[in-house]
Amino acid sequence: MLESSNPPPSAALLRRVLSEVGLPIAEPMAVAAPARAVPLPSRLATGDLAWASVSAVIAASGYRTLPDPDRISLAYRSDAVLTVDGMRPDVWSPLSGFWRSSDGWIRTHANYPHHTRRLRDGLRLPDRAGPDDMRAVIGERRSDELVDAISRARGLAVVVGTENPALDRTLQARPLLDVDGPAPLDVHLSPAAPDPLPLAGIRVLDLTRVIAGPVCTRTLALLGADVLRVDPPTLPEPEWQHLDTGHGKRSTVIDARSSGFRDLLDSADVVVLGYRPASLARLGLSAEALRERHPRLLIAELSAWGSEHPDRAGFDSLVQAESGIAMIESPDGATPGALPAQALDHSAGYLLAAGITALLRRRAAENRGWRIRTSLRRIAAELLGMPRQSIPAPTSELDTSPHTRSFAVAGHRITTVAPVIPGLEFSAPRPWGSDQPTW
């Protein structure tokens, strides 16, 4: 039993998350603190956030087993474990990173080719311009001026800021998983792991990319859902990125304005949205439009900056930089740093998967749909409000061998991190865009 009136941060967060989705936890096993800290060394409580996020999925699914802290740490750093034919892919563009301006720092993101092109356009750099060219141009200009120019060219950059406690308190007062639907029933977790898998027979339409959404839908597939990832024909996904998070899903390419896509949507139980809300609205895929046409559909939304900023794109690294996390994690008090993993992305993915799973269990009794949403910025506010330490705790190098799995995919040997839910195993990722747009 948890006898303390002040549970550890991970347990307190887990209790609140499950309460938000209508599954109050009575079993202390499900809110226990880890036997040892999750080895994600940082000043902020990254390990506690990761433990609570993963444990939320396990608890919401009805399982009784506790996750392994080392496995969680490696799962959150999965891009550093991934190999393709024994080689680690280069996951960052040379134009993504921190850059010193005349009055501070900016953070850029250019991992997709169109982001690289827009970044160069915003800085008026030639097509072949590299890091040295960027460094020279950025160093001569103010941070706000640079970000404004890049943003007007639809590139991605933010001013590296300090934390804003007033904004964080406002965000912390809101649910971490914002559920819009019927009031919670008195539903309790199953006493043992469900058999068959808890999401068997559930159809999930996956309109996401870049870690948070794909981690969510990969987890739903692990729990038995039929997940079909849908991408637009004009925006190919980096192969490594899909292989890192594509386990157990099928993957297709289709225009969201087509009748074929509408047929998929008509038969879906869940749709997970990870694109900018404003872009989805222009396609007729806003949550409001979907709810009107499909009242029993469970609509899950992930965004970088929250519903207040529907037209603003972003990524974990940018949210860390603007929210103040980068300066808190500074190695020297002057140079921006980063969390030991893209923890906002991974936590958002696992937490949203937990919420979806819990709401699907409620839907059987309540016979209607929900809208559930969270954002990387809301996750950042939660992390910034958790206890922190002045110096990261030291950790030793982890042995990855017990925590990896290998697959044959399209003639390649892929090694990835194993699932964080004990007792379950991933199915192999399928090549991106290789499946027909059918259930």
Instruction: For strands 105-109 and 97-100, give the pairing.
Output: antiparallel
Contacts of 75 (CB under 8 A, 6+ apart): 54, 346, 417, 419, 420
> What is the per-residue pLDDT for 415?
97
CATH class of 97-163+315-328: alpha beta
> What is the per-residue pLDDT for 1?
34
Collapsing DSSP to helix, strand or coil, 423 comes out as coil
- Which superfamily is assigned to 9-83+166-311+342-385 in CATH? Crotonobetainyl-coa:carnitine coa-transferase; domain 1 (3.40.50.10540)
> What is the per-residue pLDDT for 363?
75
pLDDT band with cut points at 50, 70 and 90 for residue 300: very high
* pLDDT higher than 60, residue 126: yes
pLDDT one-digit tens code per residue, 312-330: 999 999 999 999 999 999 9
Q: What is the CA radius of gyration of the chain?
A: 21
Question: Rounded CA gap, 153 and 384, in Å?
Answer: 31
Residues of the chain with pLDDT > 90, as a percent, come to 72
pLDDT one-digit tens code per residue, 211-245: 999 999 999 999 999 999 999 988 888 889 999 99
pLDDT band with cut points at 50, 70 and 90 for residue 185: very low
Per the omega criterion (within 30 degrees of 0), is the bond before 196 cis?
yes
For the ranges 92-106, 129-143, 283-297, 313-327, the lowest mean pLDDT is seen at 283-297
Closest CA to 87 of 239, 247, 246, 249: 239
Q: At what angle do helices 376-385 and 46-61 cross, to 10 degrees?
A: 120
Kindly list the domain boundaries of the chain, sorted by start residue: 9-83+166-311+342-385, 97-163+315-328
The count of other CB atoms within 10 Å of the CB of residue 195 is 9
For the ranges 21-25, 262-266, 277-281, the lowest mean pLDDT is seen at 21-25
* pLDDT higher than 50, residue 120: yes
How far lies 167's CA from each of 158, 171, 172, 376, 382, in Å?
17, 6, 9, 14, 11
* pLDDT higher than 90, residue 376: yes
Question: Rounded CA gap, 135 and 128, in Å?
Answer: 14
DSSP string, 107-154: EEE--SHHHHHHHHHHHT--TT--HHHHHHHHTTS-HHHHHHHHHHTT
